[in-house]
């Protein structure tokens, strides 16, 4: 009852800035997983997928490019292609958690970000990788999709930020508040920046060059997440202090 009361408060109160984030909008409208809307711990099984980034990694030279394909449209090309997160008809390889996917069994995971991380780890040290020059595709923008694309284009750099990226994707797709604030800060930041763009295609064009900087410096970019996160803490504290009954 206490959790449901807090969830009701989330649905009734909020500032314009609170509503600006797509994550917060889902908090205000979702009818599922109310406990996780307040605070969750990262699923234990995901801990095993966070691989150490300290080991030396080498991936043969990449010539991958990214192409945004609007939802419902087909990729019309003979080029090798990898669809990450969404489902794009006409793609050569799927690395996505969307329903109906044909992602290879060895890469399956709850999040597309984790699927793609498994894929690039399999590429480590590979001398013959037929996907090095593939076109990376997606058909929508969200944090899981953005990070999946960025990982495919920057596999060696991605090794340094695996845990943060999985946390951020879980916050965006599953409304999870992990063991730290990193994931939520990142999802709020990416969502706010994307909301300033004219559509999903422009969001990718603007944010892909910014991903690594935000992964590293999100703590210093409070203008992108602090107001929303403070309001969430306020509501969470009210529940913990029995001020919501």
pTM of the model: 0.77
pLDDT at 70: 95
Residues 74, 89: Cα–Cα separation, whole Å: 5
The tens digit of pLDDT for each residue in 17-32 reads 333 334 444 444 443 3
Angle at 182 between CA 136 and CA 98, to 5 degrees: 35
List the chain domain ranges: 2-240
pLDDT at 43: 42
What 3-state DSSP class applies to 166?
helix
The tens digit of pLDDT for each residue in 212-221 reads 999 999 999 9
Neighbour count for residue 79 (Cβ, 10 Å)? 11
């Amino acid at each position: 009852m206490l959790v449901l009361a807090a969830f009701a408060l989330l649905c009734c109160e909020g500032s314009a800035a609170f509503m600006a984030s797509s994550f917060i909008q889902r908090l205000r409208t979702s009818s599922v997983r109310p406990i996780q809307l307040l605070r969750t711990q990262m699923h234990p099984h995901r801990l095993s997928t966070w691989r150490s980034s300290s080991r030396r990694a080498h991936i043969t030279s990449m010539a991958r490019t990214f192409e945004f394909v609007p939802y419902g449209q087909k990729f019309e090309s003979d080029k090798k292609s990898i669809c990450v997160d969404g489902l794009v008809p006409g793609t050569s390889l799927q690395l996505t958690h969307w329903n109906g996917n044909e992602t290879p069994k060895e890469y399956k995971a709850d999040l597309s970000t984790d699927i793609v991380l498994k894929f690039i780890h399999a590429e480590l040290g590979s001398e013959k990788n037929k996907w090095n020059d593939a076109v990376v595709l997606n058909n929508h923008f969200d944090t899981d999709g953005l990070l999946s694309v960025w990982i495919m284009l920057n596999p060696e750099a991605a090794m340094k930020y695996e845990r943060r990226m999985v946390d951020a994707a879980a916050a965006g797709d599953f409304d999870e508040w992990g063991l730290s604030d990193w994931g939520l800060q990142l999802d709020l930041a990416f969502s706010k920046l994307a909301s300033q763009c004219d559509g999903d295609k422009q969001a990718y064009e603007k944010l892909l060059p910014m991903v690594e900087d935000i992964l590293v410096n999100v703590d210093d970019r409070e203008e992108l997440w602090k107001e929303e996160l403070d309001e969430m803490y306020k509501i969470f504290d009210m529940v913990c202090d029995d001020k919501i009954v």
